[in-house]
Structures are given as C-alpha cells and as structure tokens.
Amino acid sequence: MIFAPVLRLTSFHQETSSGTGVLIMISTTAEMTRARYEIRRHKHLARRHEHTDRLFRIEDGWACQYRLLPDGRRQIIALFLPGDYCEAQWVLTGQANWPIVALTDMFVTEIPFHDIRARHAAHNSQEPDGMKSLLGSIMHTLKSHEKWIVNLGRMSATERICALLHDLVERLRPSGKVVSNHCPMPLTQYDLADIVGISSVHVNRVLQMLRGEGVISLEAGRLALLNPVELRRLGGPAHV
C-alpha cells in the first residue's frame, strides 16, 4: 500500500489497461513543448481556487499540496517528486482546489491543456479510451486518500513514519535519485509532522529510535536505509 499524501499520480505517465491513452500522450507532449523553467523554494505553483490552463511535470525538486486550518495548523495532503504531474484533475476542472508550494528549488515543465486536448483529438479515432486513462489516474489518487484516512486513524506514529520513508525511497527510484538506498531528504521534521499528523517532537523521537537501532541514517538532507527490511516491517499494515 502507498501513502496517499506521498503519492501523487505516480502512475500518471505509465501505460494503463486501456492502452497508450492520454497519460502517455501527456508525457509525449511535455517533450514536444519544452516549456521548462525554475521555481524557487517556498514559491507557489498554485493557490487555492486559482484558475489554470496548464499542469506541471516535476523534473527536479519537491513540492507539496496542503491545507491550513483557521488557527494556522497545516496538513500536507500530497507530495510531488521528480516525474510526478500536478495535477491531473486540473485538466477537467480548470482550477486548483488547494495550494501547492515548492519545498525545494525546482525545475518543472509546463504542459498547456490545449496541447493535451489537441493531441487527444488528433488520436481520438485510434485511442477512444484515452480520457478514461486520465480519469483512472484520478480515481487511483482518490483510493489512495481513502487508505490514508485509515492509516491516520489506526496506525501508530512509528508505522506512519517508517512507511512514509520507505515509500519516498521507492518513489524516487525511477528518477535515479536513489543510489545504494541513499537519497535526498529535504523534508524537515516539521514537514514530516504535517504529513503524518503528529507533533515534530514525536517525529524527532521516532527518528532517534530508528537511528539508534541502525535502521536509517538521516544527516545533512540525505536519507540512508541501513536496514530496509526492518524499516518495511516497522511500517506495519501500510505495506500489506
């Protein structure tokens, strides 16, 4: 199982049961447009209810989608890593439901909706189910959020953090960011707390325990899985 807040369309560029479809098509369009630019850390890719006519492919860097409570508390509800798209449903709604902010300096590729639609129309006779692939990807995200609700309600703090770290490493592998189970880890303890729904103090305790037991190393923005089998076991039902 994959944590919903760290999964955002990881299968968006992959082939689905309906064939090549819109998802593969979007990847091809990104190569065609080459509208790539830099976004600095803490800058927003989208704000709540902001209208948009494009989506983004993350080429490098990390971003998150979040919600703020009236008292200022934050819940991170999605992480975007290299290779992810944000966000598929924008193609259907034309607006961002919740803000997305860069957690690091980033490079993104802009993909205008008209390119996606034009390419879909051009191939419609050969790929009539292309849009179903897009909808399927959105449904996959919704199902992941359902699982995350269960995780927040029933998993322990240690299980949540271990499953999160394991899943982050697995998500980074396709982009070549993982070497010998070592990878970048730009998330602060406050970020981790806002993902798994506990205090930063509790996050620190769990990380210290994992370090002390030789499960992970976390220094200077780099994560190393020293004992990935144990990390996966500690993740509990998240990986069932």
Mean pLDDT for the stretch of residues 36-43: 94
User: Is residue 26 domain-shared with residue 124, that is, in the same domain?
Assistant: yes
Structural domain range at position 212: 157-239
Domain count, the chain: 2
pLDDT of residue 145: 74
User: Is residue 30 domain-shared with residue 96, that is, in the same domain?
Assistant: yes
Give the chain's mean pLDDT. 81
The residues that bridge with 171 in the sheet, in sequence order, are none
Interval 116-136: pLDDT, tens: 767 666 555 455 455 665 676
Nearest to 203 by CA among 155, 150, 162: 162
Nearest to 185 by CA among 43, 84, 79: 79
Helices (H), the chain: 21-33, 90-93, 113-122, 130-154, 157-172, 189-196, 200-212, 228-234
pLDDT of residue 16: 35
Q: Reduced to 3 states, what is the DSSP secondary structure of residue 222?
A: strand
pLDDT of residue 200: 97
Mean pLDDT for the stretch of residues 187-208: 96
pLDDT of residue 44: 96
Please report, for the domain that includes residue 60, its CATH number: 2.60.120.10
Which structure tokens are listed for 52? Answer: 């948009």
Interval 82-114: pLDDT, tens: 988 888 788 888 889 899 999 999 999 998 887
pLDDT of residue 123: 57
Which structure tokens are listed for 105? Answer: 């300096």
User: Is residue 80 domain-shared with residue 123, that is, in the same domain?
Assistant: yes
Please report, for the domain that includes residue 161, its CATH number: 1.10.10.10
